[in-house]
Amino acid sequence: MWDWVFPKVCASCGAPLLRGERQVCIGCLLRLPQTLFWKAPQQNEGYFRLAPHAPAVEGVVAGFWYAPGSPLREWVRLAKYHHQPGPLREAARYLAFLLREEGHVPLERIEGLLPVPVSRKRLQRRGYNQAEWVAYGLGEVWGLPVLKNRWQRRPHSRSQVGKSRIERWISLEGEFVCTGPVPKTVGVVDDVLTTGATLQAALASLPSEVRVWVFTVGITQRRR
C-alpha cells in the first residue's frame, strides 16, 4: 500500500531500494547503534529502568540507542508527526531478526504482542498507533499475532513537560485500562523506552498473573 504513496527510495538516505528492501535501505539499518540487549535481557539498562517497578517483567529488549545522529530519531519523527510509520516498522523487523538469530529470549513462550496504546485523541490525529506498527514488524518475523483492543488509554489533560519523574508517575496512574483477555505470557511493545514511567503505568494495569517481555525499538541513553 505504501508503495503507492512513497517512491521506492530509502526514506532515510534517498538511495534506490533493492529487492527485499522496504522503506529504508540495508545501509541505513546497519547504521542503527545496536544495544545488544537481546543477548542479556535481564542485565541491561532497559531492564534496570523497568523491572524494579514492574514485577511482571521477565526481560527487556530495547534494540537501538536513540542517540543523536541515529537514523532512528528521524524514523520515530516520521512515524509520529509525518504519517510515515514504515521506516519504524522496518527497524522493528530488523530488531526481530537480530533477536531471533542471536538473542536469549524464549520466543516460543510468548503468545502475542500487545502494543502500548496512545490516547484516542492522538489516535484520531495521527491515524494509527506507532507502537502497533512496531508490533507488526516484530510479529511478522516471529510469527506472533498483534493483540488489538485489549488496552485503552485515557487522555491526560495536562502536559507532562516540566514535571519531575514522580509527578509524571502520579499523573500516569490510572491512565491505562485493560479491557480484553491477555495471554499468560505476552510481549509488550512500544517505540522508544525513555524513563519507563509510561510502560510501568501500562504494565500495572495488566492482570497480576500475566508475565511480560518488553520490546522497544529504541532506548534513550540517560535517565531523564
30 binds Zn ion (CB under 5 A): no
**C-alpha cell read off for 26:** 540495508
Is 92 buried (19+), middle (13-18) or exposed (0-12) by CB count in 10 A? buried
Cβ nearer to Zn ion, comparing 21 with 45: 21
Distance CA 151, CA 149 (A): 6
In the list 3, 6, 8, 13, the residue contacting Zn ion (rule: CB under 5 A) is 13
Does residue 29 bind Zn ion (CB under 5 A)? no
Question: Which residue's CB is nearer to Zn ion, number 15 or number 178?
Answer: 15
Is residue 170 a contact residue for Zn ion (CB under 5 A)? no
Closer to Zn ion by CB, 15 or 107: give it.
15
Using the minimum distance from each CB to Zn ion, give the nearer residue, 12 or 44: 12
Q: How far is the CB of 30 from Zn ion (least distance, A)?
A: 9
Near Zn ion by CB under 5 A, which window of 6-14, 108-116, 171-179, 187-195?
Answer: 6-14
Query: Half-sphere exposure of residue 61, counting CA atoms within 13 Å on the CB side?
Result: 25
Integer Cα distance of 67 and 59 in angstroms: 22
Looking at the Cβ atoms of 18 and 36, the one nearer to Zn ion is 18
Determine the interface stretch with Zn ion among 13-21, 44-52, 81-89, 110-118 (rule: CB under 5 A). Answer: 13-21
CB 38 within 8 A of CB 102: yes
Pick from 28, 51, 78, 201 the residue near Zn ion by CB under 5 A: 28
Burial of residue 208 (number of CB atoms within 10 Å: 0-12, 13-18, 19+): exposed
- Residue closer to Zn ion, measured from CB, 21 or 175: 21
What is residue 186's three-state secondary structure? strand
CA distance 104 to 94: 16
- In angstroms, give the least distance from the CB of 137 to Zn ion: 17
CB of 25 to Zn ion, least distance (A): 3
Q: How near is the Cβ of 5 to Zn ion at its closest, in Å?
A: 18
Q: How many CB atoms lie within 10 A of CB 178?
A: 16
Q: With binding defined as CB under 5 A, does residue 25 bind Zn ion?
A: yes
Residue 75's contacts (CB-CB under 8 Å, 6 or more residues apart) are 11, 12, 24, 87, 88, 90, 91
Nearest-Å Rg of the Cα atoms of the chain is 17
Q: Is 10 in the site for Zn ion (CB under 5 A)?
A: yes
Q: Which is nearer to Zn ion, 16 or 155 (CB)?
A: 16
- Binding residues for Zn ion, rule: CB under 5 A, are 10, 12-13, 15, 25, 28
